[in-house]
Amino acid sequence: MSAPTTTDPPVAVGGAAAPWRRVLAQGRFETRAVLRNGEQLMVTVILPVLLLVGLNGAGFVELDTGGAARIDLLTPGVLAFAAMASAFTSPAIATAFDRRNGVLRLLATTPLGPTGLLAGKLVSVLAVQLVQVVVLGGTAAALGWRPTVSGVGLALICWLLGTAAFVALALLAAGTVRAEAVIALANILLVVLALGGVVLPADVLPGPLAGVVALLPSGALGAALRATLLDGAVPLGPLAVLAAWAAALGAAAARWFRWSA
């Protein structure tokens, strides 16, 4: 048997798949599970599309667009809502039931390991978000959306920071709360946070409430995407809020997440 060369595919001792292959395989499995689940598909893809089309065509809902096209104001907020749905609601519910059924504990003892398992879940979230961006972006473009090109790169950074914060929140909830309670918690939080400065700007809310919403990860993500995609601006305040929430929630999840119920 010849010795491995640098051109050989990376494999672990004993012939096991390389770590990155195991992570990608887990990510593909998790992604298929989300996209084949009618309820999760409804929350992550269909509901955001319905929000976008419905609010854009709802003439009875008056919006101060500041001179921008209605679809240009709405699309960043709906994208933020979609990011929340894929990064928080779906992972929280799926992970909570995996934990209750002992799946997390079992997979953590396989070559995938705890780190690989969590990395696979993150790969799945990003894959679902790619589907969301394609579907929502295509729908919005068909309705006349024209984002500020110079702000797309900044919007991606904001999106990733928001994703990190909401994935950490999902793991914190899934790793500390009973699975049945996570369903209610995830859906209630999604609705409450969505109403607070995500789909629509926080300034449509009463003064004191608008200030509170701006400090939430949901409000910061909505404001950041609107600033970047609508105006091409650098949203320093929302970026700082998102980074702080991502760090705090990540530390909390690392501290309190439990692998078994």
183-235, pLDDT tens digit by residue? 888 888 888 777 667 887 777 777 677 788 889 999 999 999 999 999 999 99
The pLDDT assigned to 196 comes to: 65
Q: Taking residues 138-160, report their average pLDDT.
A: 95
Tokens 């809902």, located at residue: 61
Q: DSSP letters of the chain?
A: -PPP-TTSPPB-TTSPBPHHHHHHHHHHHHHHHHHT-HHHHIIIIIHHHHHHHHHHH-TTS----TTS-HHHHHHHHHHHHHHHIIIIIHHHHHHHHHHHTTHHHHHHTSTTHHHHHHHHHHHHHHHHHHHHHHHHHHHHHHTT----GGGHHHHHHHHHHHHHHHHHHHHHHHTTS-HHHHHHHHHHHHHHHHHTTTSS-GGGS-HHHHHHHTTSHHHHHHHHHHIIIII----HHHHHHHHHHHHHHHHHHHHH--S--
Higher pLDDT, 207 or 255: 255
- Across 189-225, b (16+ Cβ under 10 Å) vs e yields bbeebbebbbbbbbeebeeeebeebbebbbbbbbbbb
Q: Is the confidence at residue 49, as pLDDT, over 50?
A: yes
Between 2-11, 12-21, 22-31, the lowest mean confidence (pLDDT) is in 2-11
Q: Is the confidence at residue 4, as pLDDT, over 80?
A: no
Average pLDDT of the chain is 86
pTM: 0.88
- Which of these, 115, 109, 86, 258, lies nearest to 173 by C-alpha position? 258
The pLDDT assigned to 60 comes to: 59
The pLDDT assigned to 205 comes to: 72
Q: Is the confidence at residue 135, as pLDDT, over 70?
A: yes
